[in-house]
Structure 1
Amino acid sequence: MAATTKTYNTRSDALDGLRAIAALLVAFYHCGAEFRSSPLVIPGFTGVLIFFVLSGYLVSKPFVQALAAGTSLPLLSSYAIRRFLRIYPPYLGALIFFTALRYATHLHPPSASAFTAHALLYFNFMGGHSFFDINAAFWSLSIEAQFYVLLPMSAWLVARVVGTRHAALALILLFVGVGLVSRVLEFTYPVAGNESHFVLPTSFLDLFGVGMLVAYVEPRAAITFSRSPRQRGVLWLIGIGVFLAANHWCLYDAGRADYLRTDIFSYATLYPLVCCLGAGVAVLAICVQPADTKLPILSWRPLVAIGHISYSVYLYHVAVQLAFFAALPHLPRGYELYLTSHHWLTGFLTLPFVLVTSAIAYRLVELPTMRYGTIWSKAVVQRAAIARPG
């Protein structure tokens, strides 16, 4: 790379700021607080959709760019080590913590089979209420983990079936197409007793596919938008506009229900993709931002700090809120999807405890396992390079 060429961050402060916003949306949502006043209509469950887009972008980027360049795909063993150590030890720790909390408070302690299904991350296939059992926030972790498995398998298949020139785009179209078709089929032919319309990982692949599309267009978009703050501003307007328009549809045309539970076909099948497209354009606007510039809100240091621990915030916020509600039973609590000042007050009261717990979990579990994953995966890559002939 020439000295005059601007560089772009693989992990930017602004992406961490966006992670923080996504995690806070979910945390306040479980206190019953969210933005539902036009034009600022942002249901709390959209935080999960933002996480799906970010995961699709960050996790798929080495695969998508390798397919686009016609180079070798990432080493599967190194990829598996990084992904496993990134999400599983923190998740297992939170699962054990929350299960113990349920037993200690006698609040619907989970059965051994439910705990096992959650520990092995296949509980979305169990039927009934298992998708939201033990901890309602954990549902996306099963989908996320199964996406990690499907991504390298699909990339390997596409690399061998499709010509090198179009393999990356074919992979993205495959994920988007399968996700839409699967969601239509799950809505049309629901499994009796499921609390959610959608439990199969295939019904969320298009949402990850939006992030994959960002990874695909980023190198070209960076060249186009790097010299023009005005053009980057247009990207932001488009992304935020689409995101807010999709959520306005959620509130005023489709009612207040989550897309996982609504009875409206168009909303259930199309809304999450449209919402993710808006979020995806915003992610692209962040990714093409030159590294020597900062975005005023997303790069705010407290928000970036929360972004670093956002995974633990997602894992532990329900447990902390549950303990808080048990200690102070007269507080208004979550799952009531309307906006009142009392629910916002509860969210802000519980937030410091959520952040402290999450920071401790990040230091004790996330950070060591991430470091070990980096060291171990690099060692695997080096051994593979030594063993490779020539």
Structure 2
Amino acid sequence: MGTAPELVGSGKASSHIKGFDGLRAISIILVILTHMSVLDYLPDTAFFQGRFHPLVSGVTGVNIFFTLSGFLITRILIREQARTGKINLRSFYARRFLRLTPPFILFLVLLLIGTAFGVYTVYPIGLLLSFAYLYNFIPHFLLNGQLSHTWSLAVEEQFYLVWPFLITLLPHRRLAFAALAAVALAVLAAYVLPGLSFPHNGHVYTLQDTFFVSRWFFPAAGPIMVGAFMAVLLFKRPAACRHLALSSLAFPLSAALFLSPLYLPVALLPMAFVIQAAGVAVLLLAIMERQEGALTRLLEFRPLAYLGKISYGVYLYHVLATSTGAAGATVKSAPLSILLFMGLAIASYELYEKPILKLKARFQ
């Protein structure tokens, strides 16, 4: 997803963070496991469904990716601002377009071809909302299995439309406050939105009855803004971040935060998604300062790192062989499904995306 941020405390820029792609691979693995219905085999108990499930669900995988993305995009922009005195928004959006749009267009074309041959069923309004990056606001009755995962693309795009402008307008101290305020707003939305009600045809419905409110920009952007805050903090307080990253508490703190659904009081579980994001952010700092460490080497395992590199394509295309949600593939169909969408993702990356990505150099 563009140029990686510099290492904490290294005093020099780095074009690559070892272990970063491995973390992205973990996020996409969680998504695939969920859409392959693997989590259906968890015991149907309050503990496993209410507390263990948030550790391994596809939504958690997306939130890991959100955290990494918020950190990376923010770091890229504030580094550019520090280096040149400004942010070239035109170049930023050109790079984002070249990275994200061509595979997305290919996905939609393949989906339409499949629909024409009766393989898939797609609602026109759903296709339009997906293309407009508004699928996170779609009501339940219009949800389509082959498009439902594009809600996360919508959240990312909405972040891109707002956050870069705030970085150009706000001093870094206020930028950190803005990121924290956005996290707080996400938590507030997670508590308040589901229970809000409205009348319709003589009945009263809650927003949760009608929409996937957890996918609305607030609260969904919470993990993105956690990552963004960490990037600002790293820029403003590099010594403090380096001290945390190198301390013996870094990995235990990261684990304690990420595992918070296991021990949080029930009343605090709705905010676990941002606490887990904080754990991912701390882990990223620790990895950045331990580029030759054992965990980093494990994350750099070549197949894992490559999966992270093509994770965007895997995320886009896997629904063509699995669908999502309740209509997802079964474990029995997993081998063929994996072969199909992995083959498509690899071919797309090597033959289609790579040549286009070379054009990004014109907008550095």
Are 1:353 and 2:340 an aligned pair? yes
Provide the residue aligned with 2:227 in structure 1: 211
The Cα offsets for residues 265-308 of structure 1, whole Å up to 9 and x where unpaired, read as: 753x4122122122222122223334798713211111011111
Q: Deviations over 1:135-183 (max 9, x none)?
A: 22221111111111011233244x2xxxx36233123223223323333
Task: Report the secondary structure of 1:105's partner residue.
Answer: coil
Q: Using the alignment, how far apart are the partners of 2:245 and 2:71 within structure 1?
A: 23
* Letter paired with 2:102: P
Aligned to 2:159: 147
Q: Report the Cα distance in structure 1 between the residues aligned to 2:102 and 2:30, rounded to whole angstroms.
A: 24
- Matched AA of 1:212: A
Determine the C-alpha separation between the residues in 2 that align with 1:105 and 1:312: 23
1:115 is aligned to 127
Aligned to 1:56: 70
Write the distance in 1 (CA, Å) between the matches of 2:263 and 2:110. Answer: 38
Looking at structure 2, the residues matched to 313 and 128 of structure 1 have their Cα atoms a distance apart, in angstroms, of 25
Alignment: residue pair count: 339
1:298–1:304: 8 Å Cα contact kept in structure 2? yes
Number of the residue aligned with 1:373 = 360
1:234 equivalent among 249, 253, 257: 249
TM value normalised by structure 1: 0.74
The residue correspondences of 1:277-296 to structure 2 (distance < 5 A) are 277-290=278-291, 295-296=296-297
Equivalent in 94, 99, 103 of residue 81 of structure 1: 94
Distance 1:201 1:228 in 2: 30
Q: Could you tell me how far apart the structure 2 residues matched to 1:44 and 1:170 are?
A: 30
Query: Displacement, 1:334?
Result: 6.9
Q: Is structure 2 residue 179 aligned with structure 1 residue 172?
A: yes
Secondary structure, in 3 states, of the residue corresponding to 1:79?
helix
Q: Is the 8 A contact 2:130 2:151 kept in 1?
A: no
CA distance in 2, matches of 1:347, 1:206: 32
TM-score computed with the length of structure 2 as normaliser? 0.79
1:244 corresponds to 2:249: no
| Partner amino acid, structure 2, of 1:45 | V
2:111 to 80, 98, 102: 98
CA separation of 1:42 and 1:98: change in aligned 2, threshold 3 A: same
Describe the superposition over 1:5-60 as per-residue Cα deviations: whole angstroms up to 9, x where unpaired: 56564432300011111111101110111495888942232110001101101111
Is 2:145–2:327's contact at 8 Å kept on the other side of the alignment? no
Deviations 1:110-139 (A, max 9, x none): 233322222222233443444655422221
Q: Tell me, yes or no, if the aligned pair for 2:172 and 2:232 is still in contact at 8 Å.
A: no
State whether residues 33 and 334 of structure 1, in contact with CA within 8 Å, keep that contact through their aligned partners in structure 2. Answer: no
Q: Is contact 1:16–1:303 with CA below 8 Å preserved after alignment?
A: yes
Q: How far is 1:96 from its partner? A: 2.2
Instruction: Indicate the SS of the match to 2:38.
Output: coil
Give the letter aligned to residue 136 of structure 1: S
Cα displacement string for residues 323-349 of structure 1 (whole angstroms, at most 9, x for unaligned residues): xxxxxxxxxx97499xxxx96564455
In structure 1, distance between residues paired with 2:175 and 2:332: 47
Q: Which consecutive unaligned segments of at least 5 residues does structure 2 have? A: 1-5, 197-205
Among all aligned residue pairs of Structure 1 and Structure 2, give the percentage whose two residues are the same amino acid.
22
In 2, Cα distance between equivalents of 1:183 and 1:311: 26
Paired with 2:23 and 2:38, the residues of 1 have a C-alpha distance of 19
Measured in 1, the distance between the counterparts of 2:73 and 2:246 equals 29
Query: Following the alignment from structure 1 to structure 2, what is the Cα–Cα distance between the partners of residues 29 and 55?
Result: 21
Residues of 2 paired with 1:53 and 1:72: CA distance? 26
* Equivalent in the alignment of 1:262: none
Distance 1:371 1:154 in 2: 28
What is the RMSD computed on CA atoms of the aligned residues? 3.6
Q: Is the 8 A contact 2:152 2:215 kept in 1?
A: no
Separation in structure 2 between the aligned mates of residue 344 and residue 188 of structure 1, nearest angstrom? 35
In the alignment, the residues of structure 2 paired with residue 165 and residue 367 of structure 1 have an alpha-carbon distance, to the nearest angstrom, of 34
| Alpha-carbon spacing, 1:291–1:85, altered in 2? closer, same or farther (3 Å) | farther
Q: Structure 2 counterpart of 1:83, which letter?
A: R
The runs of 5 or more residues in structure 1 that have no matched partner are 255-264, 323-332, 379-390
Hey, what's the Cα distance between the residues in 1 that align with 2:274 and 2:245? Answer: 27
1:200 to 191, 205, 216: 216
Cα deviation digits, residues 68-118 of structure 1 (max 9, x gap): x597341110111111221122112112212332442354x2233322222
Partner of 2:58: 44
